[in-house]
Amino acid sequence: MTVRDALRGVAWYLREVSGETGYERYVAHVRREHPDAAVMSRRDFERRRADDRDANPRARCC
Amino acid sequence: MGSRARSIAIWSVVALVGAVAWGVVALVRGEEISAAWLVAAALGSYAIAYRFYARFIVRRVLEVDDRRATPAERLDNGVDYQPTDRRVLFGHHFAAIAGAGPLVGPVLAAQMGYLPGTIWIVVGVIFAGAVQDMTILFFSMRRDGKSLGQMAREEIGPVGGVAALLAVFSIMVILLAVLALVVVNALADSPWGTFSIAMTIPIAFLMGFYLRVIRPGRVIETTAIGVALLLLAIVGGGIVEESGGALADAFTLDPETLAFCLIAYGFAASVLPVWMLLAPRDYLSTFMKIGTIVLLAIGILVTLPVLQNEPVTKFASSGEGPVFAGSLFPFVFITIACGALSGFHSLIASGTTPKMIQKESQVRTIGYGAMLMESFVAVMAIIAASILEPGLYYAVNAPAGVVGDSVQSASQAVNELGFAISPEALQRAAAEVEEESIIARTGGAPTLALGMAEIFAGATGGAKAFWYHFAIMFEALFILTTVDAGTRVGRFMLQDTLGNVWKPIGRVSWKPGVYLTSAIVVAAWGYFLYAGVTDPLGGINQLFPLFGIANQLLAAVALTVATTLLIKAGKLKWAWVTAVPLAFDLAVTLTASYQKVFSGNPRLGFFAQRDAFSDARDQGEVLAPAQTAADMDKVVTNSTVDGILAALFAVLIIVVVLDAARVWVRTIRAQRAARPVTTTEAEFVESELFAPAGLIATPAERERERELVGAGS
Rounded Cα distance between B89 and B87, Å, is 5
CB contact, 8 Å: A26 with chain B?
yes
User: Cα(B411)–Cα(B404) distance, rounded to whole angstroms?
Assistant: 10
* Mean pLDDT, contiguous 10-residue spans, chain B (713 residues): 88 96 88 92 97 97 97 88 94 92 95 97 98 98 94 92 87 92 94 95 96 94 96 94 90 96 95 92 90 90 93 94 94 95 94 95 98 97 96 96 93 95 96 93 94 91 89 88 91 90 88 94 97 93 92 94 97 98 97 96 95 94 91 95 95 94 96 90 95 93 89 56
**Rounded to a whole number, what is the distance in Å from the CA of B100 to chain A's nearest CA?**
5
Give the E-state strand segments of B493-636 in sequence order.
Answer: none
Residues of B in contact with A30 (CB under 8 A): 78
Q: Where are the domains of chain A?
A: 3-55
List of chain A residues whose C-beta atoms are within 8 Å of the C-beta of residue B279:
50, 53
Cβ–Cβ < 8 Å for B359, B70: yes
**What is the distance in angstroms between the Cα of A51 and the nearest Cα belonging to chain B?**
7
Cβ contact, residue pair B492, A23, below 8 Å: no
**What pLDDT sits at residue B578?**
98
Measured CA to CA, the distance from residue B553 to residue B590 in angstroms comes to 9
What per-residue confidence (pLDDT) applies to A29? 86
Identify which of A25, A46, A59 has the shortest CB distance to residue B347.
Answer: A59
Kindly report the pTM of this predicted structure.
Answer: 0.95
Selected residue of B79, B86, B347 to mutate for chain A interface (largest A Cβ count, 10 A): B79
| A9 lies within 8 A of chain B by CB | no
Contacts of residue B488 in chain A, CB cutoff 8 Å? 57
* CA closest to B506 among chain A residues: A55
Radius of gyration of chain A (CA): 16
Nearest residue of chain A to residue B208 (CA atoms)? A50
Mean pLDDT of A27-52: 90
Residue in chain A closest to B77 (alpha carbons) equals: A29
CB spacing of B348 vs A61 below 8 angstroms: yes
A9: which chain B residues are within 8 Å (Cβ-Cβ)?
none
Which of B663, B711, B667, B659 has the alpha carbon at shortest distance from B690?
B711
- The 10 Å Cβ neighbour count of residue B195 is 25
Is A7 an interface residue toward B (CB < 8 Å)? no
Chain A residues within 8 A of B86 when measuring between CB atoms: none
Contact A25 B82 (CB under 8 A): yes
Inter-chain Cβ pairs, chain A and chain B, closer than 8 A: 112
Contact residues, chain B, for A53 at CB < 8 Å: 274-275, 278-279
- For residue A54, the distance in angstroms to the closest alpha carbon of chain B comes to 5
Q: Phi and psi at residue B444, in whole multiples of 5°?
A: 95, -35
Dihedral sign from CA coordinates of B318, B324, B330, B336: negative
CB contact under 8 A, B352 and A45: no
Inter-chain touch A58–B275, beta carbons under 8 Å = no
How far is it, in rounded angstroms, from Cα B17 to Cα B6? Answer: 17
Q: Do B88 and A52 touch (CB under 8 A)?
A: no
Chain B residues in contact with A56 (beta carbon < 8 A): 80
Looking at CA atoms only, how far is residue A36 from chain B in angstroms?
Answer: 17
A18 CB within 8 Å of a chain B CB? yes
Instruction: Identify the closest residue of chain A to B89 by CA–CA distance.
Output: A17
Percent of chain A with pLDDT over 70: 100
A62 and B344 within 8 Å at the Cβ level: the answer is yes
| Type of residue numbered B501 | V
Residues of B in contact with A13 (CB under 8 A): 87-88, 91
A17, A20, A62 ranked by CB distance to B218: nearest: A20
**Chain A CB contacts of B337 below 8 Å:** 62
Interchain proximity A54–B274, CB inside 8 Å: yes
Tell me which long-range contacts B159-164 makes (C-beta under 8 A, separation of at least 24): B159/B655, B159/B659, B160/B560, B160/B655, B160/B656, B160/B659, B160/B660, B163/B557, B163/B652, B163/B655, B163/B656, B163/B659, B164/B557, B164/B561, B164/B656
Residue B713 has what pLDDT?
A: 47
Question: B477, B179 in Cβ contact below 8 A?
Answer: no
What local confidence, expressed as pLDDT, does residue B712 receive? 53
B88:A16 CB<8 A: yes
Chain B contact present for A19, CB below 8 A: yes
Which residues on chain A are in Cβ contact (under 8 Å) with B102?
62
| CB nearest to B345's CB, from A17, A23, A61 | A61
The gap from C-alpha B678 to its chain's centroid, in whole angstroms, comes to 36
A62 touches chain B (CB under 8 A): yes
